[in-house]
Amino acid sequence: MSELVAVTIDDRPVEVPKGTGLVEAAQAAGVEIPVFCYEPRLGPPVGACRMCLIEIEGMPKLQAGCTLTATDGMVIHTAATSAKAAEGQEATLEFILVNHPLDCPVCDKGGECPLQDLAFRYGPGNTRMTLPKLTVDKPIPVSPLIALDRERCILCYRCTRFSEDVAEDGQLIARNRGARTEIATFEDEAYRSPFSGNVIELCPVGALTSTLYRFAARPWDIQNVPTICTACPVGCNVSATIREGKVKRILSRNHPEIDRGWLCDKGRFSYPHLRAEDRITTPLRRGKKGLEEITWDDALDSAEEMLRNAGGAIVTALSGSETTEIAYALGRLLRGGHGAHSAVMPEATSTALEAFHLPLSAIGDAEIIVVVGDDPVVERAPIVDLWIKEARRHGAEIVVCSPAGDLATEPGGAAARCQELATPRDALGKKLRAAERAVLIWSGPGGGGGARLAELAHELGLEEKAGSGAFHLPATANALGAAAAWAASADADEANPEPIELLIVSGDEAAADPSVRALAEEAKRVIVLTMFHELAAGWADLILPSTAALERDGTTMNLEGRVQRLRRAVPPPCPDELAWIAKLAARFDVELASEAPGVFEELAGHLFRDLALDDLGLHAPLPARQTYETPAPSSSLPAASPAASLETEDGALRLQRFRALFSGPAVERVAQLDFQRPDAEVELATAEAERRGITSGDAVFVRSNGTSVELRARVNRKLIEGVARIADEHASDLHAVVEVVKA
Amino acid sequence: MPERPQIVFAGTNGGALTQFEDYAAVGGFAPLRKARSMAPDDVIAELESSGLRGRGGAFFPTGRKWAFVPKPDQLAKPHYLVVNADESEPGTFKDREIMLRVPFRFLEGCLIAAHAISSQHVFVYIRGEYEQEFEVLRESLEAMRKADLLGGVTVVIHRGAGAYICGEETALLESLEGKRGQPRTKPPFPAIAGLYAAPTAVNNVESITTVTSVLELGATEYAKLGVENSTGTRVFSLSGDVVNPGNYELPHGITLRELIYDVGGGVPGGRELKAIIPGGSSTSILTGADIDTPLDFTSLVQAGSSIGSAGVIVIDERCCMVQLGIRVSQFYEHESCGKCTPCRVGTRWLTQILQKIEGGRASQPDLDLLLSVCDRIMGKCLCPLGDSDAIAVLSYVDRFRDEYQAHIDLGRCPFDGESSLEGILAPSAMHESPAHGIARV
């Protein structure tokens, strides 16, 4: 317990810990100190807007309350008890409104605008500004996602501070000075950052607005539904703004341990995929004339027939985007009803990391963070990247062991790196052992779903240290929950049917997966559950429309191992999966609840130690750490991992693919997100580029076995030699070994 | 003629001491050797007893400022000395002459100050337009380096890029760190967390140059010059409607009359003296009736103004006080950094209202509004820039109310086109922002 100091605010005495900011101290006393620029998540206060002017006894001038901390005996007067403070606050508001356009009736922010609220409470009732206001062109597209109205801007610098000090992209800047100061991007380029949308929520006025939400609703005709983002395994807490049964925007719903109120643009802006042109809402069956729309009754009849004919020779491909309940219901139907135990999982998962649970926020407090794995953290779990940046700002040592990291590591070399770190004489390993707050992160494929990392964490003794822990960043939102639910749905070993009579593809990620497509070639019949026509039209015998996460009730388990509640924000345009799975299951005498709470209740007994859905609340708790159990040994030893063992010919490079954050079926269906998708480029080490006479920006051909792709070269001086790095969506059919030549 | 002891410009005989040998020959570098033979605290004590106060405008005791810098054993961070050579206050042009004529005395003062606050790093932030001054300093520094006088101290001369606000010490530090030049909120004060969040003393060029002289003369001798509360000499920048504008080093306490008439040759053409701005554009205006006010801290406060940066601007009968207000307000509007609301918005608003008055379109409430806006700026800004505009404009209305009233009553400027602001502050050509648009998306 830190030392308490006694302060008096508007005649109310209150005790707060020493160092508490006056805004918070006032809150503790039940008093408001109004603010615009003050936002503790953005770092130290700047005292720019002067909204928080207060009178402090013993100080002749008004003070910016947000910049000061409580000291013992301080006597503070806000506008409520000081005419001087009231005059100061009214002055600030008058100045702010001098050039403000007062176009509230057509402003998106109107009705949920701090400037409106504070002008009402503290502002002058009339205007004394009779001279021409400062006017500028508007709105300015800061990017395809964000529109900037510089007349509304009150220059609180929240957005530029976010860009500079939180996202650390340094793209939003203030330029010019005085009354002509304006927010801009360098050279007026589009603000391209995975986190750009946060500035819209930070903006205390209607200066930064979402191009997707502009003029779409008024605050009094919307509802906000609390749910969970499923764009990645972080599971940020969000609110979906609903108007007339449609999702109009996504807002953050600050879970201090997970997201601190930040969202990435994929989570914030990909919701229009719910109304994509090729969204399927009616079942489709392949007939003589190709795919034909059929009724749900027919669809269930067909599914039943296919299941009966398959005789158990069924393989199920899961996406990792199912709710835990859907994965469980599918398991009960297929495994319980048909003995169809064979499944293709999106990725390996492991429970070994449960011994090293930590809230994500603990990353921000770490002394040392070691990241292993081929993929940049931001591409897999963007919010984790923000926590790492925060740790660095606090002075933490960050070591990234990857092909383009601080400690150059071969592609696929993460497991070997972990073994090195575990040896007693490894210098970095020693630091990890010595630290009180050490965090390990696996960001990339392989590693047994965290099992290899857990072995390292155990070797380093991290389970004994409360501030230390380890995270595996899965590729999909609910890989952990789906795998656990599938496993819990029956008690039998997997068998590999040969031939495959029926392949069931659950979800868009599985439908888009080339290895699943390959299985479909083998299978006699294929049922695909998908949202989009394009993903399954060419190869499915029966297509059942899927719902989107925003249309689902249920739970997911994020990368921390936290179970969180999805709430249905909008009704789906087709029956919910759980409803028809229950119907279908009944035909095979499998009894299943048709709604998420019922399924969860059954599941909780198996999986969640009888956790109740209500326990999850709006901000779900993190389960306690489990005792460490040695995971199953690695099936592929690191030395023999495929990428590392590839023999490359002279001049050939190993292709390192990565799945970009802005990729996948949802992102591809939102035109405004196109500019965020990865550039068509290949990254090369400086030496590799020089050897080929290539410089950044050159057009190059990347070739392998008859496939050739033209891309732009980018020299990445941190990248190791022998590697060509390309985003999945631009690597098309390239093989594992490629050559790169100047076009 | 008043007595004119030369302290800052000692040994120059009206010329410049830019040759190393010439400066050494008039006793140069002895003060540095003397300081280095003393304990840092003793140097600070010497400065405190000399009564030397900051020449940048705030008049803060130099020795006390240094005493606020933690000792190396109290805070294990690098300590910095930052010299503010970003001289930009309208009506003030003394530092440039000091750097041009006595560069060694200035740099020697830097090293003495560095010794006093146990700093190994000196940054001289020099106004970007001061190109010749920059070259002189660079050559002088090189000569001192060759003579092995730096004693392990790194001296960096950093050129600014043209912003008045960067003369405000925390904005200067931001700019020096490579950031947008905007003031920081205080606390923390630079003495504790200044440059790169480390202990920093920020001093003006004239103050630092005078430090050398204080060490040379000794505190007691130095304090004999000038008057109580304002010891020593001051380099006054005399400009405006005066026969002999220029920089004059004179002891504190001489009167405006002595400066303007005896030294400056009076108002040209025998015109009547109308007003005097005694300490740079940020200080309150005085009327011709205040001509016998002594130029020292206490006397000018009593007269309702302040000594500021000692830039004395002489204004004769031809000047319209509303036009003067516009010119001054435009300057602050143009130089407002844009960080805090009252200054960013208020300075522009003041200009607009003043233009309305000058244009003869104003009615009585506009004059009240002008004063009210000044009031609402004053004491509410992040740094003194906005206050400076308000202080100046308020004082013009206060001392020349009739003239402001006449603009309203007549519905036009009583001077019509006859008013002259020539030589009184440089006009601030408003740089209109080109129409910006983010086109590339």
B chain contacts of residue A136, beta-carbon cutoff 8 Å: 435-436
Average confidence (pLDDT) over A728-735: 91
Contact predicate A208/A200, CB 8 Å: yes
**Interface residue B339 vs chain A (CB under 8 A):** yes
Interchain pair A50, B335: CB under 8 A: no
Chain A 158-217, residues with CB within 8 Å of chain B CB atoms:
173-182, 184-185, 187-190
Min CA distance, A195 vs chain B (Å)?
Answer: 17
Q: Mean pLDDT in chain A?
A: 94
**Interface residue B13 vs chain A (CB under 8 A):** no
Is there a single domain that holds both residue A552 and residue A655? no
Interchain pair A180, B433: CB under 8 A: yes
Spell out the residues 6+ positions from residue A541 whose beta carbon is closer than 8 angstroms to its own: A285, A286, A306, A525, A526, A527
A chain contacts of residue B333, beta-carbon cutoff 8 Å: 178-179
For A674, nearest residue in chain B (alpha carbons): B441
Interchain pair A49, B340: CB under 8 A: yes
Contact predicate A316/A340, CB 8 Å: yes
A chain contacts of residue B189, beta-carbon cutoff 8 Å: none
DSSP code at position B53: B
- Give pLDDT, residue B425: 82
Interchain pair B380, A91: CB under 8 A: yes
Instruction: Look up the pTM and report it.
Output: 0.94
What is the C-alpha to C-alpha distance for residues A302 and A527, in angstroms, rounded to an integer?
10
Write out pLDDT tens, residues A348-377.
999 999 999 999 999 999 999 999 999 999
For A60, nearest residue in chain B (alpha carbons): B379
Interchain pair A128, B344: CB under 8 A: no
Interchain pair A143, B441: CB under 8 A: yes
Q: How confident is the model at residue A608 (pLDDT cuts 50, 70, 90)?
A: confident
Is there a single domain that holds both residue A339 and residue A370? no
- Give pLDDT, residue A639: 40
Please report, as a single letter, which amino acid is at residue B93: F
Place of tokens 């010891």: B231
Interchain pair A48, B382: CB under 8 A: yes
Which of A82, A95, A154 has the highest number of chain B CBs within 10 A, making it the mutation to test binding with B?
A95
Chain A 662-721, residues with CB within 8 Å of chain B CB atoms:
675
- Give pLDDT, residue B437: 32
Structural domain contains residue A104: no
User: What is the complex's ipTM, to 2 decimals?
Assistant: 0.93
Task: Return the bridge partners of A714, or none.
Answer: A683
Write out pLDDT tens, residues A442-467.
999 999 999 999 999 999 999 999 99
A chain contacts of residue B380, beta-carbon cutoff 8 Å: 50, 53, 61-62, 88, 91-92
Interchain pair B380, A92: CB under 8 A: yes
β-strand A737-742 against A653-658: which pairing, if any? antiparallel
- Give pLDDT, residue B428: 65
Cα separation values, B1 from A410, A438, A689, B197, B259, Å: 84, 76, 77, 49, 9
Nearest CA to B181 out of A106, A4, A93, A181 is that of: A181
Interchain pair B342, A91: CB under 8 A: yes
For B379, nearest residue in chain A (alpha carbons): A61
The two structure tokens encoding residue A612: 């109740």
The two structure tokens encoding residue B232: 């020593």
Assign residue A402 the CATH number of its domain: 3.40.228.10
Which of residues A433, A448, A472 is at a domain's end?
A: A472
Contact predicate A680/A730, CB 8 Å: yes
- Give pLDDT, residue B434: 35
> 10 Å Cβ neighbour count for A706?
7
B chain contacts of residue A176, beta-carbon cutoff 8 Å: 338, 433
Q: Indicate the number of domains in chain A.
A: 5
What is the C-alpha to C-alpha distance for residues A374 and A403, in angstroms, rounded to an integer?
6
Per-residue pLDDT for A638 more than 50? no
Average confidence (pLDDT) over A553-575: 96
- Give pLDDT, residue A644: 46
Interchain pair A142, B438: CB under 8 A: yes
What is the C-alpha to C-alpha distance for residues B348 and B362, in angstroms, rounded to an integer?
17
Q: By residue range, what is the domain housing residue A706?
A: 640-742
Question: Measured at the alpha carbon of residue A615, what is the angle toward residues A610 and A617, in degrees to the nearest 5?
Answer: 150
Lowest mean pLDDT: which of A84-98, A167-181, A604-618?
A604-618
Q: Which residues in chain B land under pLDDT 70?
A: 428-441
Contact predicate A623/A357, CB 8 Å: yes
In what helix (H) or strand (E) does residue A237 lie, and over which residues does it extend?
Answer: strand A237-243
Residue B340: Cβ-neighbour burial (10 angstroms; 0-12, 13-18, 19+)? buried
> 10 Å Cβ neighbour count for A612?
11
Is there a single domain that holds both residue A19 and residue A63? yes
Structural domain contains residue A320: yes
Is there a single domain that holds both residue A391 and residue A339? no
- Give pLDDT, residue B3: 82
Q: How confident is the model at residue A602 (pLDDT cuts 50, 70, 90)?
A: very high
Contact predicate B233/B217, CB 8 Å: no
Task: Report chain B's C-alpha Rg in angstroms.
Answer: 22
What is the C-alpha to C-alpha distance for residues A446 and A436, in angstroms, rounded to an integer?
28
Is there a single domain that holds both residue A454 and residue A486? no
Min CA distance, B342 vs chain A (Å)?
Answer: 6
Is there a single domain that holds both residue A149 and residue A246? yes
- Give pLDDT, residue A633: 67
Spell out the residues 6+ positions from residue A83 whose beta carbon is closer than 8 angstroms to its own: none
What is the C-alpha to C-alpha distance for residues A698 and A584, in angstroms, rounded to an integer?
56
Which of residues A83, A98, A113 is at a domain's end?
A: A98
β-strand A4-9 against A75-77: which pairing, if any? parallel
Which of A131, A145, A163 has the highest number of chain B CBs within 10 A, making it the mutation to test binding with B?
A131
CB pairs under 8 A between A and B: 128
Please report, as a single letter, which amino acid is at residue A32: E
Please report, as a single letter, which amino acid is at residue B360: G
A chain contacts of residue B350, beta-carbon cutoff 8 Å: none
Nearest CB among B381, B436, B441 relative to A141 is that of B441
**Interface residue A395 vs chain B (CB under 8 A):** no
Structural domain contains residue A576: yes
Structural domain contains residue A634: no
- Give pLDDT, residue B432: 35
Nearest CB among A98, A128, A188 relative to B345 is that of A98
Min CA distance, B52 vs chain A (Å)?
Answer: 26
Assign residue A58 the CATH number of its domain: 3.10.20.740
Percentages helix, strand, coil for chain B, rounded to the nearest 5? Answer: 45, 15, 40
**Interface residue B231 vs chain A (CB under 8 A):** no
- Taking the CA atoms of residue B153, residue B159, residue B162 and residue B168 in that order, the dihedral angle to the nearest 10 degrees is 0
Min CA distance, A700 vs chain B (Å)?
Answer: 25
Place of tokens 């605290």: B41
Assign residue A166 the CATH number of its domain: 3.30.70.20
Structural domain contains residue A115: no
DSSP code at position A532: B
Which of residues A425, A447, A472 is at a domain's end?
A: A472
- Give pLDDT, residue A636: 42
Task: Return the bridge partners of B440, or none.
Answer: A189
Average confidence (pLDDT) over A615-627: 91
For B377, nearest residue in chain A (alpha carbons): A91
Task: Return the bridge partners of A505, or none.
Answer: A317, A528
**Interface residue B437 vs chain A (CB under 8 A):** yes
Interchain pair A131, B185: CB under 8 A: no
Contact predicate B133/B49, CB 8 Å: no
In what helix (H) or strand (E) does residue A739 lie, and over which residues does it extend?
Answer: strand A737-742
Is there a single domain that holds both residue A226 and residue A343? no
- Give pLDDT, residue A648: 63
Interchain pair A131, B352: CB under 8 A: yes
For A175, nearest residue in chain B (alpha carbons): B180
- Give pLDDT, residue A649: 65
Nearest CB among B180, B353, B376 relative to A91 is that of B376
**Interface residue A622 vs chain B (CB under 8 A):** no
**Interface residue B434 vs chain A (CB under 8 A):** no
**Interface residue A144 vs chain B (CB under 8 A):** yes
As a residue count, chain A comes to 743
What is the C-alpha to C-alpha distance for residues A199 and A100, in angstroms, rounded to an integer?
19
Is there a single domain that holds both residue A438 and residue A484? no
- Give pLDDT, residue A368: 98
Assign residue A734 the CATH number of its domain: 2.40.40.20
Is there a single domain that holds both residue A332 and residue A363? no
Min CA distance, B309 vs chain A (Å)?
Answer: 23
Structural domain contains residue A125: no
Structural domain contains residue A126: no
**Interface residue A142 vs chain B (CB under 8 A):** yes
Write out pLDDT tens, residues A262-320.
999 999 999 999 999 999 999 999 999 999 999 999 999 999 999 999 988 999 999 99
Is there a single domain that holds both residue A23 and residue A171? no
Write out pLDDT tens, residues B286-328.
999 999 999 999 999 999 999 999 999 999 999 999 999 999 9
- Give pLDDT, residue A733: 87
B chain contacts of residue A140, beta-carbon cutoff 8 Å: 436-438
Min CA distance, A188 vs chain B (Å)?
Answer: 5
Place of tokens 């999106």: A346
A chain contacts of residue B389, beta-carbon cutoff 8 Å: none
B chain contacts of residue A64, beta-carbon cutoff 8 Å: 185, 382
Mind listing the domains of chain B with CATH numbers? 20-224 (3.40.50.11540), 227-316 (3.10.20.600), 321-410 (1.20.1440.230)
Chain B 353-382, residues with CB within 8 Å of chain A CB atoms:
353, 356, 369, 372, 376, 379-382
What is the C-alpha to C-alpha distance for residues B143 and B111, in angstroms, rounded to an integer?
14
Structural domain contains residue A411: yes
Is there a single domain that holds both residue A448 and residue A529? no
What is the C-alpha to C-alpha distance for residues B311 and A470, in angstroms, rounded to an integer?
64
For B335, nearest residue in chain A (alpha carbons): A178
Is there a single domain that holds both residue A145 and residue A263? yes
Contact predicate A387/A364, CB 8 Å: yes
